[in-house]
Each structure stands twice: as structure tokens, then as C-alpha cells.
Structure 1
């Protein structure tokens, strides 16, 4: 969330601007992730077409995890690289005043004072480079070794701010080029064919502000816990991902902060992490809590069916699959079709059963 000075009256601007936001991810890897490539492919371009201004970033080889417009109007993209485990989050925001480098720096300073950064090591705020950045390494979380590298970057041009967050668990110095390659590719530009960096106007000197003693940092919020859990989850560290995901889930029940799409991802990933570590009772309870709060979201029912299949409960598996496909029109934006149960491993144990086989064949025929 942008600081209050940058957020004032911003939502009114979003009403007319967010409808045409879009992201494009190239299908083939480029940059450091492409080996032996013969032809250059353009980077990912994030834009408001009517403004002719967007964000260019090299996300070659990444998998798009989330692509949506937040309830407050900001455009949000989350992507992960399946080989390296690098996570990228991009947020575009329009403000009613001139965006500035100082606004970026103020935002990074707020993050630096946050509950995770204040507990981290190797904290470095760089305000002298072309792009202001904040980086730190969180070596432990609740006694668990995670070695999560975090880099925040911010760009400002006209009335647009672009916030980028890169993170990776089990970070080593050998991973540093991954972060630098992404950061070097980032630019706000007027269109895909215009790749020249637009120089920001020099900012006026500001008077030093008096030092204000701040209270001890608060515990991590649900979004920070969600990000940590996701970083572990995409690295298949399911047992480690359970702790921050469960803490985020508990916080959301008491004080909801995540939007609906992220909340759904939290529930599904937490339940799946429990299932992947053999904790089927907890997985079932997680999905059932999700269904109680959001009964028509089909993926909760589908994931519950997977859990019942792992429990070797054929009747409940079929009941949950039937319910999932009955609500198939209620997928998240960007989720085009239901999964195919014939291809998912939990259901393979039942495929020799003719009744079940005919049942899933009928479901697959109507999955879209």
C-alpha cells in the first residue's frame, strides 16, 4: 500500500483507468533463462494503452501465478520461475499528483521500518542509483532457516508508480545475478518499441526531517506472511511453507486484509502444503473452512476431492468433484478452465473403477 501522501484521492482516478490494464508474458524464455536462443524476444510489457506508458520487465521463463486488478484499483502481477525459485511481484499505481523519485524513496523507507526488514540482516537502502532499491536477507523465521533474499525497487514517471518486489528462499551469493538481470531490465517507457530510458527530472532538495523515535516493530502482517509462504511453496518446501501460511490464515480470520483472489490462493496453497506433507486431516479442515466462507469457488471443492482421494474415500471424492464442476463458472479471473481429474495423480487410484472412470470422463467433457 502506498504511503498516505501518495494515496490521497487515488481511487477516483482508478475508476476510469483500470479497465484496460493488461499484462503479457512471452511464451518462450529469454535473457539469462534462455540458452542457445537465436532470436530476440521482447520483454514483458505492462501498460495502460490509452496513456502510452507502461512497465517493461524481462520475465522470460516465468510462470504467471496471479494477474488481476486489486479492489483499490492497482494492477498486480505475481510470477515465479520454476527452475530458480525466484518470485516477482509487480504493482502499478496511478496517483492524482506527480509521481516522484522521492515518493519512491519514502515508500522504501517505510518498508525498511517494517516488521520483517527490522529483523533481517544485510539491510541496504540505495537511493543513489538510477532505480531506488531496498534489499535485505531474512535468515530465520520462527526458528526455521529460510535465507530469503528480498529486493524492493520503485520507479516513478508522470502520475505512475511501479513497485517491484523480488524474493527467493535459500539464497546464496551465486543467485545475485538473477536479481540484477531482472532489475537491469526494468523501465517505465512509452511503448514496446520505445526502449530508451526516460530520464527523471532532478528532484528539489528537501530539508532534513527531525528524527522520530519509532516503537518496536509489529509482528508480520498476513500479506508479508503470505509472501514468505509462497516463496517456500514454489520451491516445493511444503513443510516449511505451512508455518507462515497458517499464521497468515489465522490473521485473516481475525482481521481480513488480503483481497479475495489472494485469500483464495492462501487457502488452496495451505491445504495443498498440508496434503503434500501427509497431514490430510489438516488439509481437509483447511479446504472445508475455505468452502464455508466461499462455498461457490470450485477449486476449494476440487482440492478437497484430491484430499478425499488421498484418504481413499471414493464416495466423498466423487461428491466433491461433482460440486466443483457444478460451480465451474465461478473461477478466478484468469483461470480459464477446470483441472482435468484424469490427469491428477490423487485420482489415479480410482481409474480402474469403471463407474469413476465414466464419471470423470463426463466431467472432463464439460470442464470449460
Structure 2
């Protein structure tokens, strides 16, 4: 796939690039690919962002941070509340119980306590804390503090840990519970999904995880009665999702999505180009040639600020480079200057 293709769209701009450097000047909204609610992280110079990802087959978003000066780690998570109960305690049990069971087999756990904590904003969290005094043969003093909030649909989790723990550090750890900002009733928007997908795809180079969010963003845009803005959104999101599937070798999904996009939007050239990429990845030179021709026949319909990719520089088509006739055809779409560069 043409994984490095950049779509220049003002309406759907790249967000969250600060994650790549460990800093972000804008608040980061952590949302699930499916479900309600969000966690909002506001930048703090003491904390460096270590990563953003999806756990449990794309169902649990996690944001991880580190405070090197204080030797502390922090993580925020969200997940569907499938416990059958609508409270914070059930979320705590669902997470902490399995953790303690696993740790009991390989680590020395002390002072394990469940409780509650009322934040300065008045929210009541179900909490659990314990001290790891050893892990295998390694000695340590790592304090762990969890906070949970749950409703009928979603569980929200904050986890703070500190090595070289001393009792006087407790207030510093509880301060992170006070900073834990979440909105249980929030309905994520197309932009929320898109921004999280872009962070995963571009800054963190995790196309597999990004695909869950591109899919959620695409599904949030209507198919019937689209205005010009929504048409543009669907085109950009489809292109990004097809690339995410292709880069993770999910060619069946990539082909199905490109085919559906052609049915919905038959004049947009990148729909055909993406289908040609899937053809080439699977070794179908004749189909790739036909769909590539259809793409360039419609090149006048690219979005403002966008241009057609150069197929001769695309890794998908380069897989068929030994097919002389096909490769001559592909090179016919390159400008003389681009040909001289190769």
C-alpha cells in the first residue's frame, strides 16, 4: 500500500502529533471505538507520554505516561462494562481480581486494600492499592493505586504506580486521582475517532490499531443525504482505512471496503486506486491494470490540495515489477521528472 501518502484536508487535519515526542499542547480525548464516554488528558510538563494503544483485540484504549523525576507511571483506560452491574466496584473487581491472581504466582504483594476515594470534583472512585515488594528474584518497593468509575455501559480506570515508595508519597499519588478527568455520558464524534486514529497511524505507526478508529469514524458519517463536507469526510476516512487494512495485510477487508466505496462514490479516483493496490498485493496484474486506469481516468476529481499518487513508487505495484508489460504500463502514469528520479 501507499502507506506514506499524505492527504491534505483542512476539515480533517492531523491531530495529536505531540504524542510522537512525548508532549501534546492540546488535550487528548481517549475514546473507545465503540461505546460512550471519554477520558480527557490535559498536558502537564512533569509527565511524558509513553504511548497510546488498544488492548484486548481493539476494545480497550490506553494512554500511558511517565514522570521520570518522581519515578512514577500513570495510565488511563476505558472498557465496556460487561460485568452485569452498573457500578464502580464491579469495574474494580473485573480488573484488580485477575491482576492479583497473576501476581500471586510470581510476585510478593503486601498491603492489598480496597476502598473509595472522593476527588476534589466530587466524584467517588472505587480504589485498590497494593505494594509490590518483589517480582521473581528482584526486590522492589513499588506502590500501585487504582481508581475506577463505572456506569451501565463503560468502566473508566486510572492506575498510578511509584517505585522506591515511601508513605509520604501517598498524597502525590492521590493527586493523580484528582486529575482523572472523564465524562461517562459523552458521545464520541467523527473528529474524536479520526484524531485518535491519526495519532495511532501517523505518530505511533500502529495501522492495525488505527483501523478500529478509522472504521468507527467512517461508520459515524451518514451514507444517505450527505452534504459536501460529509462526502469529503467519507473519502478521507475510506482512504485511510483501506491503507490501514493493506499495511496489516488484511487484503480481504481492504478490497471489500474499496469496492463498497466505488459503489457509493464512483467518481472519486482513489477508490479505484485503492482497489488496484489490493489487486497488486494479491498478484492480480490484469485487475490492477484495469482499476489503475479507471483511477487515472478520474484524476480530475481529487480533493483540493490532493494529487494522485505515483504508482511506480508504491510498494503494492512494485511487487509486480517483474511483469514487464505491467510495469511499463505503471510507469506511463509517472511524469518525466519522476521517472528520472528512479
TM-score, scaled relative to structure 1: 0.46
Q: Which has the larger radius of gyration?
A: 2
Higher strand residue share: 2
Whose relative contact order is higher, 1 or 2, with alpha carbons under 8 Å and at least 6 apart?
A: 2
TM-score, scaled relative to structure 2: 0.49
